[in-house]
Amino acid sequence: MQDSDVRKLVDRLCDTKADVVYFPVRHHSPAAAMLVGQLIDSLKPAAVLIEGPSDYNEHFDELLLDHQLPIAIYSYFRSADTGSTENHRGVYYPFCEYSPEWAAINRGHQARSALRFIDLPWSSVADTDRSTHRYTDAKLRRGRYVRALCERLQVEDFDDLWDRIIESHQDITLADYLNRAHSLCLNIRQWEQNISASDRQREAFMTKQIDIAWREFQGPILVVTGGFHSGALAARSEGFACAGIDDTDVPEPVAIEAANRGIVLTTYSYDQLDSLTGYDAGMPNPGFYEHAWRQRQAGEVFNHQPLLLRLVEALRERNQILSTADLIAVETSAQALAALRGRQHVWRRDLIDAVTSSLIKDELEYGCESPFVDAVHAVLRGKRRGQLAEGARVPPLVSDIRQQLEMLELQLERSIRSVEFDLLEQDDLCKSRLLHQLQTLEIDGFRCDGGTDFLVRNDLERLWESWTLGWTPDFESSCIEASRYGTTLRNAVTARLLEEADAQQSDAASAAALLVKAAQSGVDTLSPALLDSLERMIAAEPRFDRASMALEHLLFLFCFDEAFGTTRLLRLTDIVHEAFSRSLWLLELLGQTALNDGTLLRGMKSILETYQRVGDVLEVNDSDFGSVLLRVQADSHKPPHVRGGAAGMLWTIGQTNADTVLGDLMYFADPDHLGDFLTGLFSLAREVAQRHPQLVRTIDDVLLQFGADQFQTALPSLRLAFTSFTPREKHHMLSTLFESLGLRNVEPLIQLAVDDSAVVEALAIEERLFEAVRHYGLEESYD
């Protein structure tokens, strides 16, 4: 495409007398919104064709209701392909007061023009286009031409470039706007050349819709699309040269086969619209552009002073007080920057730079925050949130949520309230399940503040929960957004849990924790697909600690759950068996490098408890189980605490005797390993160990053979080993030792005034002292 071709196409695009008039927009541009309204008033088009989802056309009248903007069209689907990891998706088409598309809709309605959206339904390009917002200008923001033009005009980025050539010119005419916008967008397209397949599919579809409208209506047709597409649409229709209109290698768009799909209106906010916070390619600082839009509407010269006053108030709310001198400095800097940049009035970048240069005294490092910069962006962002008018459709899921909240008397109110549930009471349990379902779908307005932690399970004496409920502006929109998961609450939660499980593909423990979360939402959410997914993850888990943690969660659900209804649930049997088998197999593979941080012994406890409690249900072969433990216990490549744990397991289940255990103990009777072996043994054979006098006597004999330095080496791990017992149990073991030594009626032990470490260190010093005395023969002289 040559420069002359660009010029010819621009001349055609700027012709407002043609049968088809192309109006290029930057989404959410106040200048574009103002001028498209003026064009519609003068042109009186027979039809206004707008870039937007054509599958919404049958509901177009909903957009003409008395909504409070910003709002958005939300298109969503749940793919029929259950094997897809992204089979629940949604996308937004946002509108605010100053969106050119919104201006075209309203002014076109006033002019009695036919109104249509002409873009492909989103589901037809969702496979190749991963954006979550359709009104974006990402294609305009990046590229060689934009970088070169920004450098030439000495502006920072595309936002400043657009402001420089279009937005800040309050007196820009329609002809000037069309010439500048079309020229800019066509040159960006010409320089980039690489137009995506989804863009070409969309442009081919929009061209067909334009042709259909041209044949259908008598009178001019106005086409309102993103400037990136306008030239391509005209070129396709009228034979001009343009980059990216060759469709020879572009397949026909195919809509995703969906089990559930929908397209509805939803509320939106300036937080979401702002490119600096939520909307990845929108106009930044929507509050600023709303201010500019309102002044344009009123025919007033742009005045930044109201924004500066709001900034002062915002800083005061943040306990940042501006002095009169500070305000004068900001105002002076802003005026000077505007003049330097050739503007007749202060604009967005001038105000931001003036605050930064005048109020920030220290160097602001990249990525660091400043209360002044945060405040100016908060003011320029604005706080507006939309609200849908009565009569707008809502997805079936929203109705189901409302109905269930009303049935259980959990409706959200403007005032915040707290509720507490006893999970052993059926009514409270039903309420808890509903709130957990809403939390799984990330519905706003519900927060669990406290109660029984069913993942940690350190206090199960009382099963309870505390929740805070309160209406938020995002309640409705979060319900609508969750509709991509299903039409009923149960189906949506099941689908969302399965999606979360897919995200945990390499972590069986996290997936099992998700199963606990699912149980809190009700056993009916434990779908076969979710259980199959968990079973596959456990079967592929390579880490013993994660597999055994999964087993621990599953054992709780299968054996001890009093609240959720999963105890001895038949559907869990196979998964518990898989987790048990996998954990046992990985235990045998552990090597010498395994750390003694408690996680391995905790996993071994889970294996032992599973065998003891549900071994019969799982049909575990006793001989095979014992053989694995014997191999682990005898493996010299395994660390002492693991071998001690295996010995303890064998002793507990009666597949070894005390003599064998004592023999194992003597094998580890050195200061570096004794404590670790006993840690494993006591952890897994706590009950039988404390009742065996000979074990305590043998430990005492071994310790008596240690020198003071050796005892000091062994002490930390010995301390850890004996933490398996309660104070009462340790007292009993000590009493047993005294009795085995024939020491009866022993006086109570003296409570030392120093800690154990000091005593052991003193003993070691004393022993070294006596050794030195013997070495130099000083004891004979003393005698």
Q: What is the pLDDT of residues 258-267, one digit of tens each?
A: 657 899 999 9
Whether residue 747 has pLDDT greater than 70: no
Q: Which helix (H) or strand (E) holds 375?
A: helix 371-381
- Angstrom distance (rounded) from CA 301 to CA 580: 75
Range 292-310 average pLDDT: 90
List the one residue out of 342, 283, 365 whose CA is nearest residue 373.
365
Q: Are 715 and 757 in contact (CB under 8 A)?
A: yes
Q: Which residues contact 715 (CB under 8 A, 6 or more apart)?
A: 675, 756, 757, 760
- Choose the weakest-confidence range: 161-170, 241-250, 526-535: 241-250
User: What digits encode the pLDDT tens for the residues 694-714?
Assistant: 888 888 888 888 887 888 888
CB burial class (10 A; 0-12, 13-18, 19+) of residue 130? exposed
Which pLDDT band holds residue 69 (cuts at 50, 70, 90)?
very high
Whether residue 115 has pLDDT greater than 70: yes
Whether residue 428 has pLDDT greater than 80: yes
- What pLDDT does residue 274 have? 84
- What pLDDT does residue 751 have? 60
Of residues 707 and 393, which shows the higher confidence score?
Answer: 393
Whether residue 107 has pLDDT greater than 60: yes
Whether residue 745 has pLDDT greater than 70: no
Which pLDDT band holds residue 82 (cuts at 50, 70, 90)?
low
List the one residue out of 519, 484, 494, 471 whose CA is nearest residue 397.
484
Q: Are 104 and 116 in contact (CB under 8 A)?
A: no
DSSP H helices in 298-343: 305-317, 324-340
- What pLDDT does residue 561 have? 81
Q: Are 546 and 560 in contact (CB under 8 A)?
A: no
CA 528 distance to own-chain centroid: 25
Q: Are 443 and 521 in contact (CB under 8 A)?
A: no
Buried b (16+ CB within 10 A) or exposed e, 51-72: bbbbbbeeebebbeeebebbbb
Of residues 302 and 756, which shows the higher confidence score?
Answer: 302
Range 347-359 average pLDDT: 87
Q: Which residues contact 268 (CB under 8 A, 6 or more apart)?
A: 69, 70, 71, 72, 92, 94, 95, 96, 385, 386, 477
- What pLDDT does residue 105 have? 97
- Angstrom distance (rounded) from CA 160 to CA 174: 21
Q: Tell me phi and psi for residue 68, to 5 degrees.
A: -100, 115
- Angstrom distance (rounded) from CA 119 to CA 203: 8
Whether residue 782 has pLDDT greater than 60: no
- Angstrom distance (rounded) from CA 453 to CA 100: 51
Instruction: Specify the residue for token string 């509320």.
Output: 267
Q: Are 477 and 267 in contact (CB under 8 A)?
A: yes
DSSP H helices in 619-672: 622-634, 640-652, 658-667
- Angstrom distance (rounded) from CA 327 to CA 333: 10
- Angstrom distance (rounded) from CA 464 to CA 446: 16
- What pLDDT does residue 601 have? 94
List the one residue out of 380, 427, 78, 414 whose CA is nearest residue 256.
78
Please give the share of the chain, as a percent, with pLDDT higher than 90.
54
Range 304-318 average pLDDT: 85
Whether residue 748 has pLDDT greater than 90: no
Whether residue 169 has pLDDT greater than 80: yes
Taking phi over 0 as left and psi of -120 to 50 as alpha, with beta for the rest, 457 belongs to: left
- Angstrom distance (rounded) from CA 696 to CA 739: 11
- Angstrom distance (rounded) from CA 232 to CA 761: 86
Average pLDDT along the chain: 87
- Angstrom distance (rounded) from CA 469 to CA 306: 37
Q: Which helix (H) or strand (E) holds 539?
A: helix 528-540
- What pLDDT does residue 606 have? 96
- What pLDDT does residue 783 have? 45
DSSP secondary structure string for all residues of 593-607: T---SSHHHHHHHHH
- Choose the weakest-confidence range: 345-359, 406-420, 570-584: 345-359
State the pTM of this model: 0.79
Helix/strand/coil percent split, the chain, to 5: 60, 10, 35
Range 717-740 average pLDDT: 83
Residue type, 776: Y
User: What digits encode the pLDDT tens for the residues 446-499?
Assistant: 999 999 999 988 888 899 999 999 999 899 999 999 998 988 999 999 989 988
Please give the share of the chain, as a percent, with pLDDT higher than 70.
90
Which pLDDT band holds residue 685 (cuts at 50, 70, 90)?
very high
Of residues 368 and 99, which shows the higher confidence score?
Answer: 99
CA distance from start to end of the chain: 113
- Angstrom distance (rounded) from CA 247 to CA 629: 66
